[in-house]
Amino acid sequence: MRNSALILGIVGGLWGMVVGFFGYGYTVLLANYGDELQGFVSQVQNPALIKAAGLVAPILAIAGGAMARSRNLAAAALMLASAVGMYWAFGFGVFTMFPIAMCALGGLLALAARQPDAH
C-alpha cells in the first residue's frame, strides 16, 4: 500500500504541477491583458488563491508521496491536503479530476497502511 501511495502522490503532484502552471499563467494573462480580452475569457474571482494553490498543492502531493514509505500518517495528511487544495482552488473538471483523485487515493492508501510493505 505504501508503494501505491508513493506512486499516486508523485504522479498526482506532477500532474497537479501542470494544472498549477496553467492556472498561474491564466491569472497572469488576465492581470496583464484582462481589459483587451474582456468578452473572450472569464475573470478569476481570487487570483491569489489560484497562484498559491498552484504552487503549494503539487508540492504537498510530491512531498507526501516521497515520504509514504517511511511516514505514512504524515504522507496521508499531505496528500489529502493537496487534494483538498486543488479542489478548492481549481474545482473538479477534466484536467483536475486525475490529480485530485490520485492524491486523495494516495492519501487514503497511506492512511490505511499500518504495517511496512512486505519485501
Using CA atoms in the order 67, 71, 76, 78, what is the torsion angle rounded to 10 degrees?
Answer: -50
- What local confidence, expressed as pLDDT, does residue 34 receive? 74
- What local confidence, expressed as pLDDT, does residue 119 receive? 54
Query: What residue spans define the domains of the chain?
Result: 2-112
Predicted structure pTM score: 0.88
Query: Is the distance from CB of 12 to CB of 106 less than 8 angstroms?
Result: yes
Has residue 18 got a pLDDT over 80? Answer: yes
Q: Which residues of 8-21 are buried (b: 16+ CB within 10 A; e: fewer)?
A: bbbbbbebbbebbe
Cα 60 from Cα 29, distance rounded (Å): 26
Closest CA to 23 of 40, 47, 57: 47
pLDDT tens track for 68-117:
988 899 999 999 999 999 999 999 999 999 999 999 999 999 999 876 65
- What local confidence, expressed as pLDDT, does residue 36 receive? 76
